[in-house]
Structure 1
Amino acid sequence: MTRLVATQADTENSCYRALFPCPSPSALSVASAFCATITASGTTATNYPTRATNACGTTADRYISACQCGPTCSYSTLATATSLSSTTNAPACEPPSTSTTFTSTTSTAPPACESTPVNGNLLYGDFECDFTPWNPLVFAPFASVYGYSVTTPGFTKVNSFQTEFLGTPNCPTTCTYLRLTSPVFPVTPGVKYKYTFATWFDGISRGFVGTKINDRAGRTVSALDYPVTNWRFHQVPFQANATENEASVFFEWLNVESRLDSVTFAPLSAYCGNTSPVGLLRDGEFECGLGAWTQQKPDPQATAGVVNLGSDSLYTNSFPMGDYAWRVVSPGVPNPANQELHVSARIISGSMAVTPGKKYLVYFTSFFSNRTVGSVGVMINNSPIYTRNPNDAAQGTPAVFSPNHIIWTNMAGLTSANVKIEALVFGAGTIAIDSVMFVELNDGVV
């Protein structure tokens, strides 16, 4: 365990990071304008940036301390501005600065701290470079009993963000112990996005981790939802409204300790083409059609292909990701003679380079219109690895896109792989597949 934090210095740094959220030129501009008006008496400090009040409060001293540092982002373009010349109550700046001015600079992040995903909006969600520029805040009543660190192993790489009780929990009911806020990042009004993250719980607890984006509820994950000491992958849809041009994600820990990793945010259109924001598999959201997938349809009675779900009331409350999915429809009980071992249709991904002995996540969502329509089978390089039936407990109720989470270990000598998903149809109805991903994992993931 490294660097468990619950100190006054951390509180000051939390205020600093909230005031100067790298990388967001618009947020930095607001912070710079604010810093130009604040005085020691606070008489001109009437425009506290709302994103900073949770960490800094509404009194002048902590803002003055943070303003003295000024933004230290080296991987964004910062607007020229003037900082305060006073050095009273200066916090531990990152790095320490005695300059009274900061000027425009443009550079790139160090290679070891490259963003994941490379074509997404959210930076440093893999915590490979500590938790900066994310802003962790332990709420005041719990500073002595709750802390956080960056630890190993991670979900996909080396590190992950971990929270932990440092002493006996002092909340008799359900309390929010910690909030972790992302840097501000740009979004485009009307565009549909997906953000992902992975969680790990080290014991059964009645607490949970909740996430929001721009104060809109996204997802809650409980330690009771999945086996403990197992990583689980999650995805959440988001559509920017007409007035949103920037966003921030935050996570909150309520009566629980856990790990968080692999936080990504990207438009669904980024999943089209040769580079996926998450993992190795191309065109897994089907927003641009089949793309790199090959479709085969042995059953002439079935209809198969990528379709727009929005025009069909069957999917109104099905929680799809985006507008499109791969779908197979059977008008009645198929003739087995026209199928291949009950397979009415299948899709086969493009080939992906894999490393012998490494672990990979195979993830997708599945939809069944009823409990008798059939099942879904998954193969890698024609070897079966998984089956999902509409009556499985994990599928839940019919007519909902439910997640499937498979960890596959590559065998020795295998350097390429493809994913095959088959619709085994037994009766009338619809089977649909969406959000297919294939992600290399840390060797310690179970």
Structure 2
Amino acid sequence: MDLTIAAILIGTMLVLLAGGLWIGLALMAIGILGLFGFTPRAPGDGLAVAVWGVNSSWTLTALPLFLWMGEILFRTRMSEDLFSGLAPWLERLPGRLLHTNVIGCTLFAAVSGSSAATCATIGKIALPELTRRGYPESMALGTLAGAGTLGLLIPPSIIMIVYGVSADVSIAKLFIGGVLPGVMLAVLFMGWVVLWSLLNRDRIPPADLRTGFADKIRASRNLIPVILLIGGVLGSIYAGIATATEAAAIGVIGSLIIAASQRSLTRRSFIEALLGATRLYCMIALILGGSAFLTLAMGYIGLPRHLAEWIATLGLTPGMLLLVLAVFFVVLGCFLDGISIVVLTMAVLLPTIQAAGIDPLWFGIFVVVMVEMAQITPPVGFNLFVLQGLTGRQITTIARYALPYFLLMVLAVVLLYVFPGLVTWLPAHMMG
């Protein structure tokens, strides 16, 4: 009976989504159908309580602030400054300026929180420059597609906030837990660039005139604003001075100061950034509200508990369970964006994960890496869409360029499973 109910609800939801109904409204509709069809409870009060409860959460206040910070920085010269500050230091490294994509995305991810924003912002300046200097398109687009996903993993991360609210996990601990995996993934990406460059020396253009040490130091002044902003946002969290929400407010103030100092803060840009963040947050808030109501409805029906009990009867080890879930997330990532994946699945999966003895903090980082993969899997890969808009190339072509970075993320998941301390060590030592 439970499988029949699940099949009916999932089938109806797929029909609604395929018909173009907004995800948040589709989730609410399935919750209403579930309560009307399979329980004696009326959906009205549950819908009101669930939607209000999740969207009035103080924890969630960090989300619109980080979105606003990213929108402000998107309209500044920060990406150009990152490129000019990093380029002189990379001229002797195999792959040379290709590394600016990885390092630039890593640094911008630490002040953006969005994969698509990171990819678009760094891509706007890096792609024309790399093309002009003769770097191969496959590596220029591939590194950007792969490294752009670091906007999800390196804190502050919008998807971590969504997971933390959905799973009732400390957002500050998630932020700290994402640091080492994010750095590891950036190192893996740079390692692949070095290896590819050593195997294809003839395809990497020769270095420009060698830059003296004094010139490198002068160029590094361009990195000061982003480093100060990263220090203000993440440093305040790690030092225990501020919560994630308070750090987000610091980030907004810092980004406004940077925009003002670069003379990119105008009445028009301020309003555009505010409206852009508002539109994006309203979309996320509607999805979260629908997810909260669906979670409530599924609880009344009893599906999560029955599913967890059924999975327990299969006798899967934690490793096998994670392998099954990894395949499940990759398949979902071909059709849904990352936020939708998290809010759609957490209600059902968390009881199962807890029953299997898997740390919800570690599982949060695991989910984020899986969602990163979804950013570069066709047909619905947001980074692929961003790069298609920047270059006009086919989605399938860009996805092929991004394949090595997808495989490196698979390797990262394996390393996280073998060495879980990569996630849990920093939060345990910094926050107790």
TM-score by structure 2 length? 0.24
Based on CA coordinates, which of the two structures has the bigger radius of gyration?
A: 1
TM-score (norm 1): 0.24
Q: Which has the higher contact order (CA 8 A, sep 6+)?
A: 2
